[in-house]
Amino acid sequence: MKRFLDSFRIMLGGEPRRPGKDDFTPEARELHAYKRRPEVAKKRIAMIREEQENPVLVIKWRVRRWISIIIINLLFVVSFWYDVQLIEGALTASRVVGFHMADVNAALQVVLAYKVLVLNLLIGIVTVTIMWWIVGGRSFCAWCCPYHLLAEFAEELHLWLAKKGLVKDHPLHRGTRSVLYVIFVLLALVTGYTVFETISPVGILSRALIYGAGVSLLWVAVLLLIEIFYTRRFWCRYICPIGLTYGFVGKTSPVVVQYNLNHCLHEGKCIDVCLVPHVIDMTRKGRADDVIINVSADCTRCGRCVEECPTGALTFKIRGTGGLL
């Protein structure tokens, strides 16, 4: 229960806690002591150097995500332009083969703004909630969101410019997202208008792809420029309430990213590439309070850490089965 609640605290903006002496399980304490032995530490460092000298590039999860995002969004475009009527609407609200689906955060905004919950919207909320609960975490962000794909390329450009010394990251407090979540909720409730949906690059891009480009794309361009030149992952990490909503939805999902302390070299590559590095703080040397830990609710299930880990310390698992995806 403590880990369960702590996962929500971190998702809402709290910093990962360094475990106290009494927080470690006997198995984890013993394993940490073993890794501190001079001969074991020396072997670990040698393995890290060897891995750095002979890196193995694995991008299967990245390719799968990009294909998923492109296909999902293209289905909307093709259905509209060719009048297939397979999928009607946009990512925020749609009908798939006549069955209603609704983005949970957008639906919340609509309900609060108009003070009514119609049956079709309720059906859409339940359907989408179940779907994203199954795949877990903030999977919508990494596997469906069109802005996420653009932001990923913007992040790569930001990191390249940072290596050249041309830009510097200016991180904000992660709790900003939680504060803005409440503000957007109150704005919808008080004004009767879905304020967040007006500025959300997710909805803007989805509608632009389907119905054609508009002036609102300038706002998306501004966000990308901020992410390239000022703050890495500005929108996704510090502003967007959609990820927070799906984090709550997917907390108890059967699909998880699982950490195994036995296999970890603590070289930090996973943290360097993670979109939400606070969720894998346990990979830092001496931080894991158990041998096996499921990554917390704010995880996007993007698979970047799984790709980068040379020893398989981070893997996709299905709870209760030990199955590897």
In this predicted model, what pLDDT tens digit does every residue of 43-88 receive, in sequence order?
888 888 887 777 777 778 889 999 999 999 999 999 888 888 788 8
Q: Which residues pair with 99 in a beta bridge?
A: 96
pLDDT value of position 324: 52
> According to the 3-state scheme, what is the secondary structure of 89-129?
EECCEEEECCEEEECHHHHHHHHHHHCCCCHHHHHHHHHHH
The C-alpha angle with vertex 90 and arms to 84 and 96, in degrees rounded to 5, equals: 50
Provide the 10 A C-beta neighbour count for residue 62. 16
Letter for the amino acid at 3? R
pLDDT value of position 13: 87
Q: Which residues of the chain have pLDDT under 70?
A: 320-325
Does residue 61 contact residue 302 with C-beta atoms inside 8 Å? Answer: yes
Contacts of 209 (CB under 8 A, 6+ apart): 73, 76, 77, 146
Domain residue ranges in the chain: 2-55+254-324, 75-248
pLDDT value of position 313: 92
pLDDT value of position 323: 52
E strand or H helix that includes residue 320 = none
Q: Write down the pTM of the prediction.
A: 0.88
